[in-house]
Amino acid sequence: MTDEIIAFTEGHVGRIRLNRPKAIHALTTAMCRAILDRLAAWRSDDAVRAVLFDHAEGRGFCAGGDIRMLAASGAKDGAEAREFFHTEYQLNHRLFTYSKPTVAFMDGITMGGGVGIALPCKFRVATENTRFAMPETGIGLFPDVGGGWYLSRLPGRAGQFLALTGAQMDGAECVYLGLATHFVPAAALGEVKAKIAADPSAIEAILDAFSEEPPPARIEQNMERIDRLFASDRLEDIYAALGADGSDWAQKELATLHTKSPQTMKVALRLLKEGAHMHSFADEMRQEYAVGAHVVQRHDFLEGVRAVIVDKDNAPKWNPATPEGVTEHMLDTIFAPLPDDEAWTPA
């Protein structure tokens, strides 16, 4: 067990705390493997009736994955990056299919890999500190960890909007969209966890009792615009719709899209379109793994990480530079299934 994961039992629950505060608990391969091992052990332990996920000190639940490692690997043979995705997606799938109740406390930053842990959980608790996002298109990646499955099932075109823009949702917006099941003040979380540990059979009743009515969800007033202007699965159509709309909101969102990778925005739209019809979450993970294995070695990911995370000039030079330059053939190459002996498999 890596010291970046704190796992223990309390009362009748298993507790998993992410403990990499300097990186806002961003996941590594070792962290994912440690959680997988602990979930496997607790699955057959009758004394553990539920599993709670939270974070140790710091300002967020989980900021994502180890992006620098992925980029360094992608610049070489990609093997280490593929190992990370394979293990992380096994964790996502195990949580999705886990037989015991799971609770994620999304207090603070919850992005990327943190979303992959939180969304498969039966209970997802937002607070006034929650900052939920899938910002991957800004670094030439795509909303993975099941993003094609979850985002495609949000109301209207909210999922497509979040996938393309990387917009941050607060706790109230998470509840409104169904990303969170409860809104609990951060100050009450300690008491909530203690009560669940004492009586995990009453998880839902405990969360209901401590939940408060969240503030109005900001995104609600924009849903009509989102559904209308992000209606198409063609990125060019979305650009045109936003450009033709005279509102400040549309121009702001269009300016946001101009900072993102056209290639991975198109990947995201195709992922959500196909994800809406996936027969199983395992099928989704298999597809996302193939896409990830290809994208991590392409120019836009390496350039996005350079611009946003390494050099911090925030001026990535995407290739292709426009949506029109991203061809269907290019997307077919990215979505091509891997050979059977290289494909993703559940744990």
Residues carrying an active site annotation: 65, 113, 136, 144
Q: Which two tokens stand for residue 166?
A: 């990387």
Contact predicate 223/155, CB 8 Å = yes
Structure-block tokens of residue 185: 């003040």
Q: What's 337's DSSP letter?
A: P
Tokens 């509102």 belong to 247
Question: Which spans in the chain are helix H?
Answer: 29-43, 67-74, 79-96, 113-118, 147-150, 158-165, 171-177, 189-198, 203-210, 223-229, 235-244, 248-257, 262-275, 281-295, 299-305, 328-334
Q: 3-state DSSP helix/strand/coil percent for the chain, to nearest 5?
A: 55, 10, 35
Q: Which residues contact 128 (CB under 8 A, 6 or more apart)?
A: 170, 171, 185, 186
Query: Backbone dihedral region of 245: left (phi > 0), alpha (psi from -120 to 50 degrees) or beta?
Result: beta
CA distance 194 to 105: 13
In 10 A of CB 242, how many CB atoms? 21
Q: Is the bond leading into 143 cis (omega within 30 degrees of zero)?
A: no
Burial class (CB in 10 A: 0-12, 13-18, 19+), 128: middle
126/106 Cα distance (integer angstroms) = 5
CA distance 101 to 171: 22
Closest to 152 measured CA to CA, from 143, 162, 160: 160
